[in-house]
Amino acid sequence: MTANEWKNRGTFIEIFGRQVFVIDEGNHEQTMVILHGYPTSSFDYYKVLDTLTKRYRVIIHDHLGFGFSDKPIDYSYSLVEQADIALALWKQLGLTTITLLAHDYGTSVATEILARYQKNQLTIHIEKLTLCNGSMHIELSQLRLIQKLLKNKLLGKHVTKLTNYPIFAKNMRNVFHNKQTVSKDELRYMWEQLLYNNGRKVIHLISNYINERYFFWNRWIGALKEIDIPTKIVWAKNDPVAVFKIAEVLSDEIPNNTLLSIKNTGHFPMLENPEEWLTAVLS
């Protein structure tokens, strides 16, 4: 599937004056909402969406600054504001009960939502939670050099100007366990979406989320320790960034959880090993 074909499957919904790209498929009572990772988009789920929609109504949106959504310069790109966008979108779509699935960057948007949920600040009910390969325990994460450079407030905007497709493709391949699993076409489609809507201008801004993971550590990890939501931790064992140790620590902390591992798979299990990922998520 091409990036343009994926775009044609979705629609744009205005949230707080910004255009948010949304995929909304499946006709079922149960609804799964998905929060995607960095620096990609909802396109990460193109291999698994059709199977997920056999059981759920599935809603995936591109966070602001990502994919086909707006990429304004005058925006904080705080994970807190990304949570505001997600919650406003789900409210606009009339959702009352959800299964929440989050991967990578999306797991920190999810933990902000969970922090509010624990304080009874939401009207939506989270029935189940699935967390996949995210560096919520940022102190355990093995950040890539490019991530460290982009999150730097002084260097980030300069590194952005030097970033090109070969650098992007190399860094993406390096987070797959089998580097040949991701095709040249897939990498090109990811790159197209990264650049869409003048996306190059905001790459360093969306990369600031790593700093927020330190700043809000107590709020977000605290929420995970208190949640009473049945939680599934689905983790690719060979992730070089969000290492498996993070999953083990989360499993020790989250009260009601099941830890499921996927072997011989890197940071994007829904792309690298979609069948095993689906088995774990839907089990």
> In this predicted model, what pLDDT tens digit does every residue of 272-281 receive, in sequence order?
999 999 999 9
Q: Whole-angstrom Cα distance, residue 173 to residue 281?
A: 24
Return phi, psi of residue 279, to 5°: -60, -45
Which is the CATH superfamily of the domain at 3-282?
Answer: Alpha/Beta hydrolase fold, catalytic domain (3.40.50.1820)
Phi-psi region of 17 (alpha: psi -120 to 50; beta: other; left: phi over 0): left
Per the structure block, which two tokens stand in for 61?
Answer: 């949106």
Cα→Cα distances 246→41, 235, 252, 268, Å: 23, 9, 10, 16
User: First vs last Cα of the chain: how many Å apart?
Assistant: 26
Nearest CA among 110, 104, 135, 133 for reference residue 262: 133
Say if residue 151's pLDDT is above 60.
no
Distance of CA 219 to the CA centre of its chain: 19
Amino acid at 122: L
Say if residue 150's pLDDT is above 70.
no
Q: How confident is the model at residue 149, as a pLDDT? A: 57
Say if residue 157's pLDDT is above 90.
no
Of 93-97, 112-116, 166-170, which gets the smallest average pLDDT?
Answer: 166-170
Q: What average pLDDT does range 50-59 have in this prediction?
A: 98
For the stretch 159-193, pLDDT in tens is 566 678 998 999 999 999 999 999 999 999 999 99
For the stretch 233-259, pLDDT in tens is 999 999 999 999 999 999 999 999 999
Q: What average pLDDT does range 206-216 have in this prediction?
A: 91
Q: How confident is the model at residue 163, as a pLDDT? A: 76
